[in-house]
């Protein structure tokens, strides 16, 4: 199964995936970012589908079609979101239905969305964690594949808690991707 990783930032999740010996066929980015240099250093093709519009009139479906076109040109079959900063539209999820994995810094269904870590702190929960799920058009609502808890400490702030969640994520996400790809192979 040909896997693409979608990234927008430092590439730390991408690097955890590669370091876990998951074969990555391409890295797609929506902006110039450090993930590009990491992928190039690993001799992984980089697909830049640059997002130029961040205004309210952004054409999400047109951009999503451009992403699908780039992925299809590289025969991508499965996608792993790795800190990708653009929420994609229906054309993307139609093309890759059931084959898009995402990681989220909470124990979904608790604290979906962009502010999961501060939300967990604000609500005073004692445990949060990391969830790997199938991404769907509805953000953070797809079927859960794996979860790992992270205790919230009395002295935690957003940064310290998020860093501990990332440590868990860097183990859980690659392991879940491997298991998912193996399952997809057996279903071929």
Closest CA to 136 of 84, 90, 86, 67: 90
Closest CA to 130 of 100, 107, 162: 107
Alpha helices for 23-157 (secondary structure H) = 34-41, 60-73, 90-95, 116-123
d(CA 35, CA 134): 22
φ, ψ for residue 20, nearest 5 deg: -90, 10
Catalytic residue among 32, 52, 74, 104: 104
The label of the residue with tokens 């953070």 reads 140
Q: For this structure, is 104 an active site residue? A: yes
- Which residues are annotated as catalytic? 104
């Amino acid at each position: 199964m040909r896997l693409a990783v979608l990234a927008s930032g430092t590439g730390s999740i991408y690097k955890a995936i590669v370091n876990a010996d998951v074969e990555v066929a391409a890295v797609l980015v929506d902006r110039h970012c450090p993930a590009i240099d990491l992928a190039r250093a690993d001799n992984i093709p980089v697909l830049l589908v640059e997002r130029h519009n961040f205004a309210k009139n952004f054409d999400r479906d047109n951009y999503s079609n451009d992403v699908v076109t780039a992925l299809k040109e590289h025969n991508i079959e499965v996608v792993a979101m790795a800190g990708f900063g653009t929420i994609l539209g229906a054309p993307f999820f139609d093309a890759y239905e059931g084959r898009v994995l995402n990681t989220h810094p909470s124990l979904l269904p608790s604290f979906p969305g962009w502010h999961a870590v501060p939300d967990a702190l604000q609500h005073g929960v004692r445990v949060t964690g990391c969830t790997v799920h199938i991404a769907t058009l509805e953000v953070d609502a797809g079927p859960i594949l794996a979860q790992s808890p992270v205790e919230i400490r009395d002295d935690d702030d957003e940064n310290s808690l998020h860093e501990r969640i990332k440590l868990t994520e860097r183990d859980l996400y690659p392991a879940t991707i491997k298991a998912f790809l193996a399952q997809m192979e057996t279903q071929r």
